[in-house]
């Protein structure tokens, strides 16, 4: 198991590195390497998230399994979108919806069962609400549905002015644990924001074809 994860991780990292090198130098075959790297990430992500270093002593929580599957499907959708292949919108919708409406509530329930204080209950609820709003806001933005700006704006308030602020001020958590956790959390947010920004930049047109009347209105604008 460990050897397999290391091999898949090596191949994924190599393909991603080659994608950057080939794309930046406009070399032929860069698109195919980019597609392969997307498939490799979708395979590696579940192994990475579901790997249990303690063996069978600590079973993997079911919410983590759903999160790994959601991330894999979402990454495939992003790969298909960048390659302009059909089916991208379906996978992106499934990935973001399952992440926001299944994974986050289950993970919040798991956290609340293990942390009983009212302060941490409020803190974790704010964090889960912020992540849910961000995922749904991103989905609404991709699909050009109304309300995306409101949800994305509220996600910032819930996450940073609510969850992270309360976590930083929580005196029951020692500074070393805070530093370790926040490094991972902020790094994940940075990577996720970069991916979301790249995806939104690529979305310069609606997912569904416009009618002739809509196209004419766009040209008049």
| pLDDT tens per residue across span 13-36 | 999 899 889 888 888 888 899 889
- In this prediction, residue 127 carries a pLDDT of 94
How many structural domains comprise the chain? 2
- In this prediction, residue 57 carries a pLDDT of 47
Residue 176: phi and psi, rounded to 5, are -65, -45
Residue with tokens 């579940």: 46
Residue 47 structural domain: 1-52
Please check whether residues 78 and 178 belong to one and the same domain.
yes
Residue 124 lies in a domain: yes
- In this prediction, residue 173 carries a pLDDT of 87
Nearest alpha carbon to residue 218 among 203, 202, 205, 201: 205
Average pLDDT value for residue range 208-212: 50
Residue 177 lies in a domain: yes
Percent of the chain with pLDDT over 90: 32
pLDDT in tens, 123-166: 999 999 999 999 999 889 888 889 999 999 999 999 999 999 99
CA–CA dist 214, 153 (Å, integer): 29
Residue 212 lies in a domain: no
- pLDDT band at residue 188 under the 50/70/90 scheme: confident
Please check whether residues 148 and 40 belong to one and the same domain.
no
Please check whether residues 71 and 43 belong to one and the same domain.
no
Question: Which tokens belong to 201?
Answer: 């930049």
pLDDT surpassing 50 at residue 10 = yes
Please check whether residues 10 and 70 belong to one and the same domain.
no
Asked if residue 8 lies in contact with residue 40, where contact means CB atoms within 8 angstroms, the answer is yes
Find all residues with CB under 8 Å of 179, minimum gap 6, and list them: none
Please check whether residues 40 and 7 belong to one and the same domain.
yes
Please check whether residues 41 and 73 belong to one and the same domain.
no
- pLDDT band at residue 122 under the 50/70/90 scheme: very high
DSSP 57: G
Question: Which tokens belong to 208?
Answer: 């569904």
Please check whether residues 23 and 65 belong to one and the same domain.
no
- In this prediction, residue 47 carries a pLDDT of 80
Please check whether residues 40 and 78 belong to one and the same domain.
no
Q: What pTM did the predictor assign?
A: 0.75
- In this prediction, residue 219 carries a pLDDT of 55
Q: How far apart are the first and last CA of the chain?
A: 57
pLDDT surpassing 60 at residue 216 = no
Nearest alpha carbon to residue 105 among 127, 120, 90: 127
Please check whether residues 47 and 83 belong to one and the same domain.
no
CA–CA dist 142, 203 (Å, integer): 7
Residue 208: phi and psi, rounded to 5, are -105, 145
Please check whether residues 94 and 15 belong to one and the same domain.
no
Question: Which tokens belong to 151?
Answer: 């949800």
pLDDT in tens, 33-84: 988 988 998 888 888 777 766 655 445 567 778 888 888 998 898 888 888 8
Taking all residues of the chain, what is their mean pLDDT, rounded to a whole number?
A: 83
Residue 219 lies in a domain: no
Please check whether residues 141 and 42 belong to one and the same domain.
no
Question: Which tokens belong to 146?
Answer: 């109304």
pLDDT surpassing 60 at residue 99 = yes
Please check whether residues 39 and 111 belong to one and the same domain.
no
- pLDDT band at residue 116 under the 50/70/90 scheme: low
Candidate from 88-92, 99-103, 115-119, 202-206 with smallest mean pLDDT: 202-206
């Amino acid at each position: 198991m460990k050897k397999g994860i290391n091999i898949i991780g090596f191949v994924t990292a190599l393909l991603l590195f080659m994608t950057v090198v080939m794309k930046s130098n406009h070399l032929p075959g860069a698109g195919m390497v980019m597609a392969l790297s997307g498939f490799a990430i979708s395979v590696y992500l579940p192994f990475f998230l579901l790997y249990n270093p303690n063996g069978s002593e600590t079973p993997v929580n079911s919410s983590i399994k759903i999160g790994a599957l959601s991330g894999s499907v979402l990454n495939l959708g992003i790969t298909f979108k960048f390659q302009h292949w059909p089916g991208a919108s379906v996978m992106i919708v499934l990935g973001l919806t399952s992440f926001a409406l299944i994974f986050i509530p289950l993970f919040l329930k798991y956290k609340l069962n293990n942390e009983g204080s009212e302060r941490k209950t409020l803190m974790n609820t704010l964090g889960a609400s912020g992540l849910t709003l961000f995922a749904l806001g991103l989905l609404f933005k991709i699909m050009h549905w109304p309300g995306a700006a409101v949800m994305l704006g509220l996600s910032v308030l819930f996450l940073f002015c609510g969850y992270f602020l309360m976590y930083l001020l929580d005196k029951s958590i020692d500074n070393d644990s805070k530093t370790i956790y926040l490094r991972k959390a902020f790094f994940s947010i940075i990577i996720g924001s970069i991916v979301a920004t790249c995806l939104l930049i690529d979305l310069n047109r609606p997912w569904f074809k416009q009618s002739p009347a809509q196209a004419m209105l766009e040209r008049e604008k």
